[in-house]
Amino acid sequence: TYIGSIVASVNPYKSIPGLYDRAAVERYSRHHLGEIAPHIFAVANECYRCLWKRHDNQCILISGESGAGKTESTKLILKFLSAMSQHSLELSSREKTSCVEQAILES
């Protein structure tokens, strides 16, 4: 559940199909925090958005007892941020290519 920009989660100690796949990354990258069900990707997305839109430094604090899933949560956040960065790079490449193509067509 959400508590402001905090997500409280429980380690299910088992794999849940579809919970952390590419489709989940895409789904949470298109919504703001609180618009859809609570998820660690929503917190990571909010962090990513604030980093780029507000140019604010970001920090995600992951806390819990031994075995609570802190390491796995960190891996999931890094997976999300990596996917978002890759997507940004792909968009940048396309924009540069289209600008070059546009310059060629105009000359």
Q: Over the stretch 18-52, which tens digit does the pLDDT of each residue have?
A: 999 999 999 999 999 999 999 999 999 999 988 88
pLDDT at 106 over 60: no
Name, in order, each residue with C-beta under 8 angstroms of 41's C-beta and a sequence gap of 6 or more: 20, 24, 25, 27, 28, 29, 76, 80
Q: Over the stretch 46-100, which tens digit does the pLDDT of each residue have?
A: 999 888 888 888 889 999 999 888 999 999 999 999 999 887 767 666 666 555 4
Residue 107 has a pLDDT of 42
Interatomic CA distance for residues 100 and 77, integer angstroms: 35
Query: Residue ranges for the binding site for ATP?
Result: 64-71
Interatomic CA distance for residues 3 and 43, integer angstroms: 11
Query: Residue ranges for the binding site?
Result: 64-71
Count: domains in the chain? 1
Report the CATH number that the domain containing residue 83 is assigned in CATH.
3.40.850.10
Residue 91 has a pLDDT of 66
Domain hosting 57: range is 2-106
